[in-house]
Amino acid sequence: MDRNRNLEAIKEKGKVWDIAVIGGGASGLGVALDALSRGLSVVLVEKADFAKGTSSRSTKLVHGGVRYLAQGDIMLVFEALKERGRLLQNAPHLTYNQPFIIPIYSFFDRLQYSIGLKIYDWMAGKLRLGKSRFISRAETIHRLPKIKQNGLKGGVVYHDGQFDDARLALSVAQTCDEMGGCMLNYIRVTDLIKDETGKIAGIRVRDELDKKKYSIRAKMVVNATGVFADKILQMDKPDAPKSIQPSQGIHLVLDQSFLGGKDALMIPKTTDGRVLFAVPWLDKLVVGTTDTLREKAKLEPEALSKEIDFILETAKAYLTKAPTRKDVLSVFAGLRPLAAPKEGSTKTKEISRSHKVIVSESKLVSITGGKWTTFRKMGEDTVEQFSKVTTQSLSPSTSAQIRYHGSTDKPEKGHWKGYGADAYFIQKLITDNPELGKLLHPDYPYTHAEVIWSTRHEMAMKVEDILSRRMRVLLLDAEAALEMAPTVAALMAQELGKDEKWIENELQDFEKLANKYILK
């Protein structure tokens, strides 16, 4: 992807795009992908970096939603399981089949979870990732060496998907770019353009890097801004009621030795009725999540002390070695864009996790709710509105069959897997210039070559883009990310033609950000 080339495309006089998408997270990328699969022209703008918000802060699961099954949301589970299967087929370099174990401490639990997960298997049909089954106490301890053994009767194993969310977003953005989409990060929408009848005719935007302004005309504008959807709805109609209720979910990242083994732990009932996961991810352990209503949507939400305590307390009840605040390598928070509840209700479990497509009087199309697993289906349902909005006919969607950029059935091992087929080209940079094979940090496998590659080909514009989303170091080990930052900034500055002042500003910005991920 080449940002400068894409900027030229939005300068073209008189051009009218079929669809302009606001938002470069999971839902916006799903819309762009589906529209391009039908031969429509697409421009997508994101005010920060692709997946900067909620879409890079998930629990890293591609799942049907075991707990939605418990809540009786059968159709959502069917849809998610189908999409889970497609995602694992279309992005084998970014997804894994992850076995989960529910520890069983009573006969009733064994019965309840064995039956529930058999239904989950059956619903997945031929897209099933593996059979669920009861395992003995001895096998449970062998597979989860650090699980509390007092009263343990055994475990129920089931399978779900696991993925690298930010790199999947990037891979989809690159796929859209290759299909002719105009993908742009760091472009903020400042206003909506309306025609003389008050119908939406495009967007006004500002480049956040050089402050230049542009007008983009489009037949249909899609608001896919997640927790920020209300901001765009209020641009359309200043007195629009609040439609989004942000709910915060936090994750703590620990050394994998706290759980041991390669299986994930699923705790089906915590003290406040939530599900808690401890999932091996990129050689660390991600533990979460919470569900805390927040008043305001923030681009960089911060974990509350009570949320951190809740996760540590719950983990302590199940693990032989209790993790403490000192053991946390990184803490990250994301906001779910839940549909706002009816007056007087505050229970997040009353708020549906399924997605909704809304068309306003002015023909602004908004996609709200949903989750990463169903991002493609959300896109398809949104693009279906194109005929109603424009009265033009629409070709059938073919997005379910598209394999994403870098897709390969034989990805390399280790951290190279996330680059898929691109790993070969990065390694060739090192062959041509062995200096680029230097590590950015003695404890991690990331090289100088990857910084060069991400800056040249993955539209990384800031140090944060590399350390948080191209490599996931900020989420894996915030202190290590801080140590890598000066080298990353120097390499990027060389590539982008930036001066010492740019490096200084970038390092200040990154330090401020990284400190939010470190538990004091």
CATH number for position 295: 3.30.9.10
The pLDDT tens digits for 64-85 are: 888 777 777 888 889 999 999 9
In the three-class reduction of DSSP (H, G, I as helix; E, B as strand; rest coil), residue 360 is classed as coil
Residues 252 and 229 in one domain: no
Residues 509 and 447 in one domain: yes
In the predicted structure, residue 156 carries a pLDDT above the cut 60: yes
Q: Which of 4-18, 210-224, 344-358 has the lowest mean pLDDT?
A: 344-358
Residue 406 lies in a domain: no
Residue 283 lies in a domain: yes
Q: At what angle do helices 478-496 and 448-457 cross, to 10 degrees?
A: 60
Residue 72 lies in a domain: no
Give me the sign of the Cα torsion angle 22, 210, 334, 34: positive
Report residue 133: phi and psi, to 5°: -160, 160
The pLDDT tens digits for 352-374 are: 567 899 999 999 999 998 889 99
Residue 75 lies in a domain: no
CATH number, position 421: 1.10.8
Residues 286 and 390 in one domain: no
CA–CA dist 99, 77 (Å, integer):
18
Residues 239 and 252 in one domain: no
Residues 137 and 253 in one domain: yes
Name the domain boundary from 298, 316, 337.
337
Domain of 466, in residue numbers: 414-517
Residues 354 and 221 in one domain: yes
pTM of the model: 0.96
Q: How many domains does one find in the chain?
A: 3
Residue 81 lies in a domain: no
CA–CA dist 167, 94 (Å, integer):
7
In the predicted structure, residue 184 carries a pLDDT above the cut 70: yes
Look at residue 329 in the predicted model and tell me its pLDDT.
98
The pLDDT tens digits for 405-431 are: 999 989 999 999 999 999 999 999 999
Mean predicted lDDT score pLDDT of the chain: 94
Residues 438 and 507 in one domain: yes
The pLDDT tens digits for 19-57 are: 999 999 999 999 999 999 999 999 999 999 999 999 999
In the predicted structure, residue 350 carries a pLDDT above the cut 60: no
Residue 82 lies in a domain: no
Residue type, 298: K
CATH number, position 207: 3.50.50.60
Residue 61 lies in a domain: no
Look at residue 271 in the predicted model and tell me its pLDDT.
78
Look at residue 348 in the predicted model and tell me its pLDDT.
53
In the predicted structure, residue 302 carries a pLDDT above the cut 80: yes
Residues 158 and 270 in one domain: yes
Look at residue 361 in the predicted model and tell me its pLDDT.
96
Share of the chain above pLDDT 90, in %: 89
The pLDDT tens digits for 236-295 are: 999 999 888 899 999 999 999 999 999 999 998 887 777 899 999 999 999 999 999 999
Scored b (16 or more CB within 10 A) or e, 360-391 reads eebbbbbbbbbbbbbbbbbbbbbbebbeebbe
Neighbours of 176 (CB within 10 A): 28
In the three-class reduction of DSSP (H, G, I as helix; E, B as strand; rest coil), residue 78 is classed as helix
Q: How many residues in total does the chain contain?
A: 520
CB 220 within 8 Å of CB 386: yes
Residue type, 305: S
Residues 158 and 187 in one domain: no
Tokens of 153: 């009767």
CB 505 within 8 Å of CB 513: no
Residues 236 and 359 in one domain: yes
Residues 155 and 173 in one domain: no
Tokens of 228: 């920020």
The mean pLDDT value for 435-452 works out to: 98
Residues 511 and 419 in one domain: yes
Report residue 377: phi and psi, to 5°: -65, -35
Residues 6+ apart with CB under 8 A from 401: 90
